[in-house]
Amino acid sequence: MPLRIDIITCCPELLESPLNYSILGRAKQKGLAEICVHNLRDYTLDRHRKVDDYAFGFGAGMVLQIEPIDRCISALKQEREYDEVIFTAPDGERFTQQTANTLSLCHNLIILCGHYKGVDQRVRDHLITKEYSVGDYVLTGGEMPAAIMTDAIVRLLPGALGDVESALNDSFQDGLLEAGVYTRPADYKGWKVPDILLSGHQAKVEEYLLEQSIAHTRERRPDLLQ
């Protein structure tokens, strides 16, 4: 059974390209994943299809209303059970490779994209099961984080990548950054590929790559070695 991801957004146009090309596009064509985008404006009763309003109290910025979000999530839950209902939030738990690994084992996921100043807090209190952030910065909306998370999850599905072992060697899978990689030509402008990688000695190559991975991690992300 394919993994199904339902993405709820008030700006579906922002997701058209990232969800339909490259690995995600091929995964959908192979029947490995179903990725469905739902326009939140289709679930409002307002004749102008308005989904946001001013916040109570003080402060600038518009807030996504609870009513259309609740209608959309309720309609989706009538069709199937969901493992998680995820909200993209700058103050959420950090989305990591381990998170992607866990979510790739699920059957059905909902991802709600925040926008403007976010969503009515009651959505987060009563309708959401997980909240994830893709970094310590604020974006205009949650569409790009939703695309990032979807890509990270779907590429882990068996058959999504051409090489079944490719994802296992990615950075962060074993808590380390990936070592540098090389391809032909072996000598370009005097810039040479390390001899060990051309030796054909698998054990020594693997030992070298591990050493380089640890060194790279120590230099770039020492926090991962703590």
The share of the chain scoring above pLDDT 90, in percent, equals 84
Q: Check whether 146 has a pLDDT greater than 80.
A: yes
SS3 breakdown of the chain: % helix, strand, coil, rounded to 5? 35, 20, 40
- Residue 138: predicted pLDDT: 87
- Residue 61: predicted pLDDT: 83
The stretch 105-118 carries a mean pLDDT of 94
Q: Which two tokens stand for residue 103?
A: 């979510």
- Residue 171: predicted pLDDT: 59
pLDDT digits (tens, 9 = 90+) for 123-139: 999 999 999 999 999 89
- Residue 75: predicted pLDDT: 98
- Residue 167: predicted pLDDT: 57
- Residue 117: predicted pLDDT: 86
- Residue 226: predicted pLDDT: 82
Nearest to 8 by CA among 61, 85, 107: 85
pLDDT digits (tens, 9 = 90+) for 53-99: 999 887 778 999 999 999 999 999 999 999 999 999 999 999 999 99
User: What end-to-end distance do the CA atoms of the chain give, in Å?
Assistant: 39
CB < 8 Å & 24+ apart, contacts of 21-27: 23/151, 23/154, 23/155, 23/160, 23/161, 24/150, 24/151, 24/154, 24/155, 26/160, 27/154, 27/155, 27/157, 27/159, 27/160
Q: What is the DSSP string of 157-176?
A: STTSSSSTTTGGGSTTTTSS
Neighbours of 49 (CB within 10 A): 14
Q: Check whether 164 has a pLDDT greater than 60.
A: no
